[in-house]
Amino acid sequence: MRPAPAVPARNTKTAVAVSADPVLQPGPIPGVPGVRLAGVRAGIRYPDRLDLVAVELAAGSETCAVFTQNAFCAAPVEIARRHLGAASPRYLLINAGNANAGTGGAGREAALACCRALARQRGVSPEQVLPFSTGVIGEALPVDSIGKALPQLLSRLDAEAWPDAARGILTTDTEAKSAWAELDVNGNSVRIAGFAKGAGMIHPDMATMLAFVFTDAKLSRGQVDALLREQVEHSFNRITVDGDTSTNDACVFCATGAGPTPVESDSVNWNRLREALGQVFRHLAQAIIRDAEGAGKFITVRVSEGGSSRECLQVAYAVAESPLVKTACFASDPNWGRILAAVGRAGVENLDPGGLRILLGSVPVVAHGELHENYSEEAGLAAMAGTDIEIEIRLGRGDCEETVWTSDLSHEYVRINADYRT
């Protein structure tokens, strides 16, 4: 996803424990001071399923967001953008099962009606409520069902309800996706926590994904915006499942300021905060790929020795989005010719095949544009056999490097998307 113009703004509980040397670790998500959450069953599309989530933000929180660049953006995207420019958000309202996209003026009014209903019950302005939706496109949002569920939803707001919030935004996902971090800043704890959804229609600009990340750090609006854009570019903008960009995508980052310590830009603590935040964003992005529709493989495509970041990404996406490469990965088939062909059609100007090298994991496959003299099919098969596959492409043109994460393409992906509306 490209960031929108600046606006003010499988079941897992995965944790990130961050100190001077951040390391991802399993564990439950603790609360983030200044954030309360809740999830309920509103019957939006399926019975007996969490599908409506609210997040309450402390007064004075700084919130920024980026949204899909799809020209047919959904009604909640339009309203959320407008509200971010008008007021400081106090509530996020997220529904699953219905995208409220392709619904025209009626869809915009439906999103606004939900914001007004929540605002009346909490004594805030409608502009302080940001709506988000995910699900089937082209169907009317069931405003009455959401309105009836709001009293129960708001009564359940709790600092520890992260599991319900993470599950309540899912569609074709098979597992909740969450992460958290904690670091020491001048003797005080700073927490970061977030959750996301996404499994298909995943591609930068953005993807069929929603992501919400929160910290209690004291940050200015400009700091929040800068951190969000930096982290999105190297996480959610580096994943693809099928090359399709959705109508509803959003990524929100909020700093409640409820912690005791301001974090100054360009300080050691600022860099540590960036690293911790980066781990949370990358974990959430990679969790989307690991839960991709029908996926059995997590594929890392690393392109190095490029003349520019742009050409590295051209090559990485040509390979990552190739149906032939993805089906070969599904079959654990080291069909290196498909990778070579994808690199060749990526559109890199004056690409010299003689300088090209390809590796599958640590196995050299192609050197100087042809099969490596020491390559064996047995070694190639071994490199493709695991759940995680790494494809490394060295262009021999410079010092730039980029990484993209993708999934394989399976029979199950076709079944899920063929049956999605039934």
Residues with a catalytic annotation lie at 208
Q: Could you give the CA distance from residue 158 to residue 256 in angstroms, rounded to a whole number?
A: 16
- Choose among 130, 146, 70: nearest CA to 252: 130
- Do 412 and 294 touch, CB atoms closer than 8 A? yes
Structure tokens at 403: 């990484």
Q: Could you give the CA distance from residue 240 to residue 238 in angstroms, rounded to a whole number?
A: 7
Report which secondary-structure segment, H or E, holds 237. none
Q: What SS3 state is found at 349? A: coil
Q: Could you give the CA distance from residue 233 to residue 415 in angstroms, rounded to a whole number?
A: 31
Q: Which 8-state DSSP code applies to residue 127?
A: G
Report which secondary-structure segment, H or E, holds 276. helix 268-290
Check the CA dihedral 93-65-85-259 and report its sign.
Answer: positive
Distances 331 to 161, 261, 287, 385, 408 between C-alpha atoms, Å: 40, 51, 22, 9, 9
| HSE (side-chain half, CA atoms, 13 Å) at 337 | 1
Q: Which 8-state DSSP code applies to residue 242?
A: S
Structure tokens at 32: 């983030």
Q: Is 382 left (phi over 0), alpha (psi -120 to 50) or beta?
A: alpha
- Do 272 and 20 touch, CB atoms closer than 8 A? yes
Q: Could you give the CA distance from residue 92 to residue 73 in angstroms, rounded to a whole number?
A: 18
Q: Give the number of other CB atoms < 10 A from CB of residue 333.
A: 13
Report which secondary-structure segment, H or E, holds 119. helix 104-122
